[in-house]
Homo-oligomer: A and B are copies of this chain.
Amino acid sequence: MNTPRDTVMSYWKSAEDRDWNTFASLLSPTVTYDLPQTRERMHGRENYLRFNREYPGDWHLAVEEVLAVAGRVVSRVRFTVNGETQTAVTFFDVDAEGLITAILDFWPEPYEPPPGRAELVERY
């Protein structure tokens, strides 16, 4: 029996491999996908599979961190598209059958720091 952490590791590996059969096998038929930044919500495995298969760009990913507490899992993943990198922080619910039932996804984008704190920080 895979742990919820294993499920999320397989999820990311199958996405990177474009192994959509494995990817789909990890999803509950009623999975929900929630993007709070755009206030978008998607329902169901077929929609979510299509969203991922059709996502544009030659994206690649590297898992940086996965934390799991019972059926709740969070991952921090670095995506690279056309030489640009971005982090995704994603929360998963994994049920007792090892299927992902809910995904809550954050894509924090680069921004310029506000003025007034330069003396406290270094830039990298």
Which residues of A come within 8 Å of B, CB atoms? 35-43, 47, 50-51, 54, 56, 65, 67-69, 72, 74, 76, 87, 89, 91, 106-113, 116-117, 120-124
Q: For A74, what are the chain B residues with a Cβ–Cβ distance below 8 Å?
A: 67, 74
A117–B48 CA distance with the chains assembled, in angstroms = 11
Given known A-B contacts A40-B122, A91-B76, A111 and B109 have beta carbons under 8 A apart: yes
Q: Known interface pairs A67-B72, A68-B69, A108-B108. Does A40 touch B87 (Cβ–Cβ under 8 Å)?
A: no
Contacts of A87 in B (CB 8 A): 36, 106
Knowing that A40-B113, A68-B69 touch, tell me 13 more A-B residue pairs with CB under 8 angstroms: A36-B108, A37-B108, A39-B123, A39-B124, A41-B122, A41-B123, A65-B72, A67-B68, A67-B69, A76-B91, A89-B106, A106-B108, A108-B109
